Amino acid sequence: MSDFEPKIVVYACNWCTYAATDLAGTSRMSYPENVRIIRVMCSGRVDPQFVLQAFADGADGVIVAGCHPPADCHYIEGNYKAFRRFELFKKVLETFGIEKERFRLEWISAAEASRWVQVVNEMVAELKKLGPLKKNLEVKE
Amino acid sequence: MTKKHVSRTEGESKGEKMTEKPKVAWYWCASCGGCEESFVDLAERLLKVFEAVDIVFCPVAMDFKREDVEKLPDGSITVALINGGIRLKEHEEMVKLLRRKSKIVIAYGACSAWGGIPGLANLYDLDEVLERKYMEVPTVENPKEVMPTKKTIVNIPEAGIKAEIELTEPLPVLLPLDKVIEVDYYIPGCPPTPDVFWNALQALLSGNLPPKGSVLGASQRSVCDECPLNDTKPEKVLVKEFKRPDKAAPKPNECLLAQGFLCMGPVTRGGCKSLCPQANMPCTGCFGMLDGIVDYGGKAISTFGSILNYSPLEEKEIKEAYGKVPDWVGVIYRYSLAASKLGHKAGLKKPKRIKEVTEL
Amino acid sequence: MSEQISEPRIGVYVCHCGFNIAGTVDVKKVAEYAKTLPNVVVARDYVFMCSEPGQDLIKKDIKEQNLNRVVVASCSPSLHEVTFRTAVMEAGLNKYLMEMANIREHCSWVHHDKEKATEKAKEIVRMAVAKARYLEPLEELEVEAEQSALVLGGGVAGLRAALELANYGFQVYLVEKSPTIGGKAALIGYVDPKTKGAEIVNKMFEMIKECPRIKIFTNSELIQFSGFAGNYTAKIRVNPRYVNEKCTRCGECEEVCPIEVSNEYNFGLNRRKAIFLPFSNAYPPYYAVDHRVCVKCGECERVCRFGAINLKEEPKIVELKVGALIIATGYDPYRPFKGEYGYGLHENIITLFQLERMLDPESPTKGELIIGGKIPKSIAFIQCVGSRNTTPGSREYCSRMCCTTAINNAIKIKERYPDTNVYIIYKDIMTYGSDESLYEEAGRKLVQFVKFEDKIPKVSITPEGLFIEVFEYTIQENIRIPVDAIVLSIGMLPPRDLEELIAVTRVSCGTEGFVREAHLKLAPVEAPTKGLFLAGCITGPKNILESIRMGSAAAAKAMSLLSKGKLKIEPMIAQVNEEKCSGCAICVGVCPYGAISIKKVNGDRIAYVEKALCMGCGTCNAACPSGAMQHLGFKDIQLLAQTRAVFGEVR
């Protein structure tokens, strides 16, 4: 499994997390290549359907990231809805036997480029230990 | 064009004669028989159906065999209506056969469309399911732990009997029909209501076939559109807790979702005339998802999370509210687990309990 | 089911950005790869795509290759999304048919392995192409903006806002609930130890009187407010004043009025009649009848020699069209409960507001410190009453102005009554900024400061007089102070009619109960709804100068919104597919801007998005159970395509 490179899909909100990922770039921070970032205007836009599609297509991990509650959301409360939806989503993932390390809901503000890098590094390390999700979704002997 | 009369429809059509009527096949896989009852529930309209079509294969009603289908030329069945989830290898074989022999295949009912309630077995190893069914349920006494066997050999030399009985085997997960064969249309419901079935038939027989993959007979909008309680909603639908109908009594004449009950109406395709909410029971979602939705349960999560009115600082209250519902997957994927993006629980193991051979 | 408008013909442009991208990512390979993707008609690489020649490449291809979608793989959209949108628009293509692929900040600048970075860049481009295939042309809407504003609240914040707007040239409607403008600062408060708030208020009155563009409605309430930024309709109810400008302020009506109520203009220090003059410099400068308590006995009308009273006056509804609303409805003083530090149980226990009013020459005591019929020989201020979680009814927050106010008054008392002992019983002294010098001065003038911590002081009312018992924190001892009078330094609460305000304007409150600004850092002074602004203590306790400044800020924001005469509505907003919408109304409660409502269309309940109010977050799209509500530019089909493309699918 030393060759296994997990693929992580990230839904990043425009005003906070996406800006942080940009800042990581401007600051020439270094992190693994495993993430693919999809820009949304608000973490409140992220539908659990997208996350399930990502897992079904082969994502080993998914991150949904937005602005810190209670007051940072550019659209006031989009992150509240994201939080509530993904609390339930996590319960459902558990019933499906999917390891909780594979999904993260993170709050990363526009200034927190190092937090972004930390999250990526952590998740890549955890997923390398867990292995590809596709393997877990097959029916085993 | 000569027509080969191959249907065994004595008593069901007007005698044996050359016919241009569309040929219809009706097959059931892992089915409860409810879809068959919905067919019968057409009542007087049944007569019109029998006038209009030739039923060439219908094992629920008469002693049709696989060979009857194999004998038919490919593509000669106009419409095959298949209900029930694909649970057994036999189901898989039969539906593939019917696909070859049919111009149009319709997934009839929630089970064939999305796996239905039998699809909930996909949360368990098949061994767990078998053990539950054959050993653990209160109505079963099985001290010798007899389990299904693929081949049973009955050998009674004194009587000169040596026979083999072969039983089909279950697939490791239950599949909806469209994961096994190409499906042309879907008729939703558990079961589809007679009106929906009738509407679908009209659409098919009209000659104006809708685009392939369409859901027939039902609405483009959700159950809320036809529910009289929709107008009773407050301006904002926001709740502080989720209620279950076994623990709290729904107030009549008030929107069930607005009261906090987990009514799947908003997420579910309409067409049923909101029968359940009108009987004061929250909708359970048997007409499945609307066009454009890719995962019914995922959408339901998004909706319920949206209306639970707490801030992230009230994490405890949120967890408590969710904690009041013991089986979320059962609520949001009751009819559609097998068709969900994940389809089944991760880490399932192949069954060991099914024996290859038993000798009696 | 494809939602593609026409067969996409996509041009992909991979930028080198000098060495910034090309130094790590093999841009030529990426462009080659892009060419293999579905619907990609042309794929190029170029050294600086944002330069003129770079943009010209795009424009040329749009014309010559009949492109209808463009993907630019370069830096972050936060830098050049506008640049490339404009370039595309100049070539005749709708500017929203351009998608960017971030292969610099997200790739070349953070990865070092050239092979892996190139592979990742290819995937990022693939994701952008997948989304681009589902992009649709979108149109910005322009609406006319009314060059007028409604200022709700005639206190210092509202007055300042009104003057700024009027000076700039806007028509201003100033709506005040009470019979006079001026608010609380006309009665109490200092902006510095020498200058009363009332002086500032009077100066503003002078300016307002001369300003033809400010129309004042007193005795008036905002009862309805609808529309969208630049185009609001406000309904005002003008309650009857019963007295007109013929009034000479002779006061004969007041003598015969049988109704007496507590005088809120003296904070309860005395009583007034139902017909009264709020204070000497009130504006409009004549009497008013309190329509809430008047029994219409007719006596005042009978004695008035000038025909200034008409008790048959009816309330009027006035409809105004305005471009913006500034909410400056202020605060209410904290109301101690009966028994809180003895309040209401002894006439010598008063509030800070009552004390400061008392020292005003216009007060019932003509400015003399007379409590319980005499000048107190000792007076103690108890701080933080109603604030900082001290007593059971208290709020959590600090009310900001009470320390400075108490100390300011303590100093004035010491100056005028040098023999009176003055104590300030405090938890912490919060005289911030230049007010710190007041604290020092108070010490020099021998005001005695007594500190408590967790154990709050106890007031004893005995036949021998009033006593304050407190565990003094600095000396760590229980002490008992006999005093003639006690002043409770009460804090600020949101105004009593806040619920009505919320119902009419749809503003919302923060955790402390005051009205919340849209974003403390990114949108101060604004309410979440576009075109609504906030000024003064309605958003939380502050002093007079701070309120005035906020009034200026709110006015400036309103002006900046309206001054161009037109407002652009961003098209990446929510859109309802009416055929799919079942009117389940889940979107309505989810929108933080109140932009969505349910309307009946041919008898069906259908969601309706007020375009000018929608800010384009997409939360309603995710909440919508049927997928009828879609976020233009970030639709389900677009984001799903982008997701699937991560793993190779482009369809």
Hey, is the C-beta of B193 within 8 angstroms of any chain C C-beta?
no
> Is C183 in the same domain as C78?
no
The answer to whether the CB atoms of C640 and A50 lie below 8 A apart is yes
Hey, is the C-beta of A74 within 8 angstroms of any chain C C-beta?
yes
Q: Which of B64, B48, B46, B44 is nearest to B56 (CA)?
A: B64
- Measure in Å the smallest separation between the Cα of B113 and chain A Cα atoms: 19
> Is C2 in the same domain as C68?
yes
pLDDT confidence of residue C598: 97
> Is B139 in the same domain as B74?
no
The answer to whether the CB atoms of A47 and C636 lie below 8 A apart is yes
Is residue B3, in this structure, part of any structural domain at all? no
Q: Which residues pair with A71 in a beta bridge?
A: none
Query: Quick check: C44 and C125 in contact, CB under 8 A?
Result: no
Average pLDDT over residues A41-59: 97
Total domain count for chain C?
Answer: 5
* DSSP states of C548-564: HHHHHHHHHHHHHHHTT
Tokens 């050239």, located at residue:
C114
C623 contacts on B by Cβ (under 8 Å):
302-303, 306-307
> Is B51 in the same domain as B178?
yes
> Is C477 in the same domain as C516?
no
> Is B186 in the same domain as B55?
yes
Is residue B1, in this structure, part of any structural domain at all? no
> Is B189 in the same domain as B275?
no
> Is B251 in the same domain as B275?
yes
Q: What is the pTM of this model?
A: 0.78
Distance CA B53, CA B23 (A): 6
> Is C462 in the same domain as C350?
yes
> Is B45 in the same domain as B176?
yes
Say how many CB pairs under 8 Å bridge A and B: 111
Domain enclosing residue B241, as ranges:
223-286+289-332
Is the per-residue pLDDT at B21 higher than 60? Answer: yes
Chain C residue whose CA is closest to B264:
C625
Task: Write the residue in A28, A45, A78 that is nearest to C634 by C-beta.
Answer: A45
> Is C217 in the same domain as C257?
no
> Is C349 in the same domain as C481?
yes
Q: What is the pLDDT of residues C413-430, one digit of tens each?
A: 999 999 999 999 999 999
Distance CA B207, CA B357 (A): 51
Hey, is the C-beta of A137 within 8 angstroms of any chain C C-beta?
no
B173 contacts on A by Cβ (under 8 Å):
139
Is residue B328, in this structure, part of any structural domain at all? yes
Which two structure tokens, joined as six digits, stand for B59?
């094992």
The answer to whether the CB atoms of A76 and C528 lie below 8 A apart is yes
> Is B166 in the same domain as B179?
no
Is residue C245, in this structure, part of any structural domain at all? no
> Is C17 in the same domain as C93?
yes
Task: Write the residue in C584, C589, C636 that is nearest to B266 by C-beta.
Answer: C584
Q: Which of B75, A105, B149, A71 is nearest to C523 (CA)?
A: A71
Q: What CATH number is attached to the domain comprising C624?
A: 3.30.70.3270
pLDDT confidence of residue C374: 95
B306 contacts on A by Cβ (under 8 Å):
81, 84-85
For strands B170-175 and B161-166, give the pairing: unpaired
Hey, is the C-beta of A62 within 8 angstroms of any chain C C-beta?
no
Average pLDDT over residues B48-75: 92
pLDDT means per 10 residues in chain C (651 residues)? 67 97 97 96 97 96 96 94 95 96 97 97 98 95 94 98 97 97 95 93 96 96 91 96 95 96 96 96 95 94 95 96 98 95 96 96 95 96 93 91 96 96 96 94 96 94 95 96 97 93 84 84 84 97 96 97 88 96 97 94 95 92 97 98 90 67
The domains found in chain A, sorted by start residue, are 8-132 (3.40.50.960)
Chain C residue whose CA is closest to B268:
C626
Query: Quick check: C626 and C582 in contact, CB under 8 A?
Result: yes
> Is C467 in the same domain as C587?
no
pLDDT confidence of residue A2: 67
- Measure in Å the smallest separation between the Cα of A33 and chain C Cα atoms: 7
Distance CA B187, CA B202 (A): 12
**pLDDT bucket at A135, cuts 50 / 70 / 90:** confident
Is residue B210, in this structure, part of any structural domain at all? no
Pick among A10, A33, A51, A77 to test the C interface (most C CBs inside 10 A): A33
Task: Write the residue in C590, C619, C627 that is nearest to B290 by C-beta.
Answer: C627
CB neighbourhood size of A66 (10 A): 34
Is the per-residue pLDDT at B5 higher than 70? Answer: no
Which two structure tokens, joined as six digits, stand for B83?
């209900």
Hey, is the C-beta of A105 within 8 angstroms of any chain C C-beta?
no
The interface pTM score, or ipTM, of the predicted complex is 0.97
- Interface partners of chain B (CB pairs < 8 Å, 3 or more) are A, C
pLDDT confidence of residue C651: 67
Hey, is the C-beta of A41 within 8 angstroms of any chain C C-beta?
yes
Q: Which residues have C-beta within 8 Å of that of residue B186, sequence separation ≥ 6?
A: B106, B107, B113, B213, B214, B215, B216, B288
Q: What CATH number is attached to the domain comprising C224?
A: 3.50.50.60
Is residue C154, in this structure, part of any structural domain at all? yes
> Is C463 in the same domain as C341?
yes
Instruction: Please tell me the number of Cα atoms within 13 Å of C515 on its side-chain side.
Output: 33
The answer to whether the CB atoms of A47 and C621 lie below 8 A apart is yes
Is residue B191, in this structure, part of any structural domain at all? yes
Is residue B314, in this structure, part of any structural domain at all? yes
Tokens 């809120």, located at residue:
C264
CA distances from B24 to B105, B211, B328 (A): 10, 20, 39
pLDDT confidence of residue C226: 85
DSSP C108: I
DSSP H or E run through C168: helix C156-168
Average pLDDT over residues A32-55: 97
pLDDT confidence of residue B14: 44
Q: What CATH number is attached to the domain comprising B188?
A: 3.40.50.700
- Measure in Å the smallest separation between the Cα of B93 and chain A Cα atoms: 21
Q: What is the pLDDT of residues C293-337, one digit of tens each?
A: 999 999 999 999 999 999 999 999 999 999 999 999 999 999 999
B311 contacts on A by Cβ (under 8 Å):
69-70, 77, 80
Is residue B262, in this structure, part of any structural domain at all? yes
> Is C523 in the same domain as C557?
yes
* DSSP states of C295-363: ----HHHHH-TTS-B-TTPPPEEEEEEESEEEE----EE--PPTTGGGTTT-TTEEEHHHHHHHTSTTS
User: Where does residue C123 rank: exposed (0-12), middle (13-18), buried (19+ CB within 10 A)?
Assistant: buried
- Measure in Å the smallest separation between the Cα of B305 and chain C Cα atoms: 8
Hey, is the C-beta of A42 within 8 angstroms of any chain C C-beta?
yes
**A37: helix, coil or strand?**
strand
- Measure in Å the smallest separation between the Cα of B127 and chain A Cα atoms: 12
* DSSP states of B267-311: GSB--S-SHHHHTT-----TT-PPTT-S-HHHHHHHHHHHHB---
DSSP H or E run through C85: helix C77-90
Hey, is the C-beta of C102 within 8 angstroms of any chain A C-beta?
yes
C580 contacts on B by Cβ (under 8 Å):
220-221, 290-292
pLDDT confidence of residue A141: 62
Q: Which residues have C-beta within 8 Å of that of residue C457, sequence separation ≥ 6?
A: C341, C382, C425, C468, C469, C470
> Is C18 in the same domain as C74?
yes
> Is B180 in the same domain as B261?
no
> Is B158 in the same domain as B52?
no
> Is C400 in the same domain as C464?
yes
Q: Which residues have C-beta within 8 Å of that of residue B30, sequence separation ≥ 6?
A: B84, B85, B86, B87, B88, B91, B111, B116, B118, B174
pLDDT confidence of residue B2: 38
Kindly give the interhelix angle for C436-444 and C402-416, rounded to the nearest 10 degrees.
30
> Is B39 in the same domain as B108?
yes
The answer to whether the CB atoms of A57 and C116 lie below 8 A apart is no
Domain enclosing residue C524, as ranges:
148-239+318-331+498-562
Hey, is the C-beta of C579 within 8 angstroms of any chain B C-beta?
yes
B297 contacts on A by Cβ (under 8 Å):
52, 92
Is residue C650, in this structure, part of any structural domain at all? no
Q: What is the pLDDT of residues B180-225, one digit of tens each?
A: 999 999 999 999 999 999 999 888 888 888 999 999 999 999 999 9
> Is B142 in the same domain as B79?
no
Round the average pLDDT of chain A to a whole number and report it: 93
The answer to whether the CB atoms of B329 and A95 lie below 8 A apart is yes
> Is B158 in the same domain as B101?
no
Task: Write the residue in B318, B342, B348 that is nearest to A55 by C-beta.
Answer: B342
Total domain count for chain B?
Answer: 3
CA distances from C426 to B119, C349, C537 (A): 68, 17, 23
Hey, is the C-beta of A95 within 8 angstroms of any chain B C-beta?
yes
Hey, is the C-beta of A45 within 8 angstroms of any chain C C-beta?
yes
Distance CA C557, CA C576 (A): 31
Distance CA B331, CA B223 (A): 17
Hey, is the C-beta of A86 within 8 angstroms of any chain B C-beta?
yes
Average pLDDT over residues B13-25: 67
% helix / strand / coil in chain B, to the nearest 5? 35, 20, 50
Is residue B131, in this structure, part of any structural domain at all? yes
